[in-house]
Chains A and B, each alone.
Chain A
Amino acid sequence: MAFSLPLLQPWDSQGWKVKIRDRERLEPPHVTVLHRSRAWRWNLRTGGFMDADPPPGDVAREVVAVLVENLARLRAEWDAMYPSNPVTPREADDG
């Protein structure tokens, strides 16, 4: 089952979503912030946005704050869904 982080109002009713879906690009581990037809990948290792386009500055500041507040939970959800590519790489995988 895909993971969806509950957002408070008014962000929820404005169509903001935070998801980890069952098939994602896996490297690096991330959550996706969705708003209508736009999406931003947010790196669960570094806590920063991964793509220059669309501009990360377009994400509501309050939504970013929710990501930061829930970082531990989001990392745990990712690791549960994708144990072969955990947020903290296994020693063996570091080469």
Chain B
Amino acid sequence: MAEAVFLIDHEEKLAKHFAALRPKVLRSPAEVREAFETHWRRALWIAPAASSMQRLLAASLQGSRKGDQRLLVLGRIEGARRELLHALFRFVVAREEGVKLLPPDEIAEVLASPQRDDLFIGGAVDAADRVLVLYRGNLESLVVPLAWFARPGGPRAEIDDFEVTDFGQTVRLGPFEAAADAILYEFDVEARRRAKQRSIEKDASFGGALRRLRLQRGLRREDFDGISAKEIARIERGEVAKPHADTLATLAARFGVKPEEIETF
């Protein structure tokens, strides 16, 4: 982990959970203030509960410089304090209303993982907007349409029974389970690039990407108006050096992506 990690208020059990992150435990307002001043560019802050927030708030309000400060609150925060924290920190994850987080020991392991950007620590269902907001191990969020959580013949995704499980590797909605890497592969181009770099099989061709994307979307070669199945097969086999711009536009429109995004799959 590149940034400094600070744990507010020493709790024996909590410090044990987060030991792998080698956090500096801050016990006094003066220590918090000094940490803010010294590490204003970037730091990860972990606070066990709202009660420990007072000294953190006091220190952060006094600081004039705003860097990449990220805050994880394991307890609940509500009302005006919630708004204040979101104003002061670049990213805030807390047990706000509707937010479900992994247990502390699993959060700690995710935060310490080299793959933390590609794991989730929790999230919340926004039923009104039909989206799921997921929080990654770097505390950044990812918004996924609830409609994505479906499989022909599969169980119904139950939005009232949501949790992130398997140390951030599975998103469960009732009996429906989705792989974190599948979510990221679909919705985050950088995560997709990282996943492709890890792959032993290096088929970096446009045809390979087209085939993966087509199968990912459950489409047949016959499902592209204006392009024959034979032509799709030729492109996938690499027999077409560079598909025509019109062909690319048709493919992209069918997939709902930009033409230049196809080869990232």
**Which residues of B (169-192) have their CB < 8 Å from a CB of A?**
169-170, 175-179, 181-183, 185
Contacts of A52 in B (CB 8 A): 198-200
Q: Once bound together, how far apart are the Cα atoms of A25 and B212, in whole Å? A: 9
**A26 to B110, alpha carbons, bound, how many Å?**
25
Nearest chain B CB to A14's CB is how many angstroms away? 13
Q: Which A1-46 residues have C-beta < 8 A from chain B? A: 1-2, 17, 19, 21-27, 32, 34, 36-39
Select the stretch in B32-40, B84-92, B148-156 that faces chain A: B148-156
Q: Report whether A2 and B177 are in contact in the complex, using a CB–CB cutoff of 8 Å.
A: yes
B129-188 at interface with A (beta carbon < 8 Å): 148-149, 151-155, 166-170, 175-179, 181-183, 185
A22, A49, A51, A83: the one contacting B177 at CB < 8 Å is: A22
A57 close to chain B: CB less than 8 A: no
A34-B169, A37-B119 given; A84·B215 CB < 8 A: yes
Q: How far is the CA of A22 from the CA of B178 in the complex (A)?
A: 6
- Range of interface residues on A (Cβ < 8 Å): 20 to 34
A19 to B177, CA, bound (A): 10
* A62 at the B interface (CB under 8 A): no
> Using Cβ atoms and an 8 Å threshold, which residues of chain B touch A17?
166
> Are the C-beta atoms of B115 and A23 separated by less than 8 Å?
no
- Residue-wise, chain B 208-221 has the 8 Å CB interface mask toward A (1 for contact) of 00011001101011
Whether B182 contacts A39 by the Cβ 8 Å rule is no
Interface of A is mostly: loop
Q: Which of B204-259 contact A (CB under 8 A)?
A: 211-212, 215-216, 218, 220-221, 233-234, 236-237
Please give, as numbers and ranges, the residues of chain A lying within 8 Å of B185 by CB-CB distance: 25
Nearest-neighbor residue (CB-CB) of B115 within chain A: A37
Known interface pairs A32-B179, A37-B106, A95-B234; 18 further A-B residue pairs with C-beta atoms within 8 A, sorted by A's residue number: A2-B175, A2-B177, A17-B166, A23-B148, A25-B195, A26-B216, A27-B211, A34-B166, A34-B167, A34-B169, A34-B170, A37-B109, A37-B119, A39-B181, A53-B198, A84-B152, A84-B218, A95-B221
